[in-house]
Structure 1
Amino acid sequence: MLIRVRTRSGLVAVSAAFRRLGPALLLALASACTVTPPPRPLLIIPPQAINSTTLDDYRAQVAKRIVERNPSRVLRGSPQAMLRSLVVVSFTVNREGQVVKSSVYRTNGDDDAETTALATLRHAQPLPAPPPRLLNSVGQIELFEDWLFNDDGKFQLRTLASPQAQNYN
């Protein structure tokens, strides 16, 4: 059975059956479609990365250099339960191990601790040369390190820190 529908542009013939089944037909067609995501690319580890220095290894080398070059400022033993200060420093190292940029990234506003953190980083130069595979396109690597300060002004670096004390003595 055909039904004629008057529209602004004229008469249109619509099958009554299609009109009743149209939405259901569209829904059925849409639900039959599936979207298959593309396959994930395989992670291929380059041969030169196997058994080579990782970023964590390099961070540990840098932390050890900072500690070695600043022995009188380094805290021996466990950091106190409530630290005086935590200073996060962002720094960029070039391929020769020189710090080309450094700044306090996060702090609690302790100016003395901030000054000590930046000074001990500068005093540790040159840092170990970063492995070439860790360098960016301009031959640098950006790192972050946390200086954990006790009340006496001595610090440990989070990369090498002892477990923090649990009691407030």
Structure 2
Amino acid sequence: MPTLSLHSRIHRAIRRAAALALVLFGTAACNFTFTPPQRPAAVVPPAAINSATLDQYRSAVAQRIVERNPSYVLRGNPQAMLRSLVVVSFVVDRNGQIVASSVYRTNGDDEAEGTALATLRRSAPLPLPPAKLLNAKGQVELFEDWLFNDNGKFQLRTFASPQAQTLD
């Protein structure tokens, strides 16, 4: 029997170990089943389904705010540099009641913020939201922008006229 050099014996042992690992791994891989997670057939965000309905409802709510607060509503075009922009977030339940409201974004004009929240509250109850807009709690969250002139009158962004182009 020929004598193998140390180098040859190591090389041969490595090849055997690699072959054994390949056989073991291949066998294990054949017995392993990978099942991907279940995916819904189609996920369509509610906003995509209800965007037209949401826009219609948002307009109905804005109309109610304007109708209930005529002395605060600015007629004509807002000035070029607005006094304030107040974004209000509010939650309406299935009965049109405002269950929560808060200033979402502002420039810090406390008087404008107070007017925006007060005119929203005076508008309740709001029109009934369409059932397909309601979440699991039977509510819908909306945002509206109050655009204020220096005189304290506002327009809602939903119905806003184009702003003036000059600062006079």
What TM-score, normalized by structure 2, do the two folds share?
0.73
Residues 64 and 14 (structure 1), Cα distance of their counterparts in 2 relative to 1, 3 Å cut:
same
CA RMSD of aligned residues (A): 2.9
Contact residue 88 and residue 107 of structure 1 kept, 8 A:
yes
Structure 2 residue aligned with 1:122:
121
Contact residue 91 and residue 144 of structure 1 kept, 8 A:
yes
Measure the CA separation in 2 of the matches of 1:43 and 1:161. Answer: 34
- Does 2:13 match 1:12? yes
Structure 2 residue aligned with 1:86:
85
Q: Structure 1 stretches (4+) deviating beyond 4 angstroms?
A: 38-44
Counterpart residue type for residue 87 of structure 1: V
* Percent identity between the two aligned chains: 66
1 or 2, which has the higher helix percentage? 2
Matched pairs, number:
138
Contact residue 149 and residue 156 of structure 1 kept, 8 A:
yes
Measure the CA separation in 1 of the matches of 2:131 and 2:119. Answer: 25
What TM-score, normalized by structure 1, do the two folds share?
0.73
Measure the CA separation in 2 of the matches of 1:39 and 1:96. Answer: 35
Structure 2 residue aligned with 1:112:
111
What 5-or-longer segments of structure 2 have no aligned partner? 1-6, 19-37
Shift of 1:43: 7.1
Please list the CA deviations of residues 56-80 of structure 1 after superposition, one character each: whole Å capped at 9, or x if unmatched.
Answer: 0000000000000001100111111
What 5-or-longer segments of structure 1 have no aligned partner? 19-37
1 or 2, which has the higher strand percentage? 1
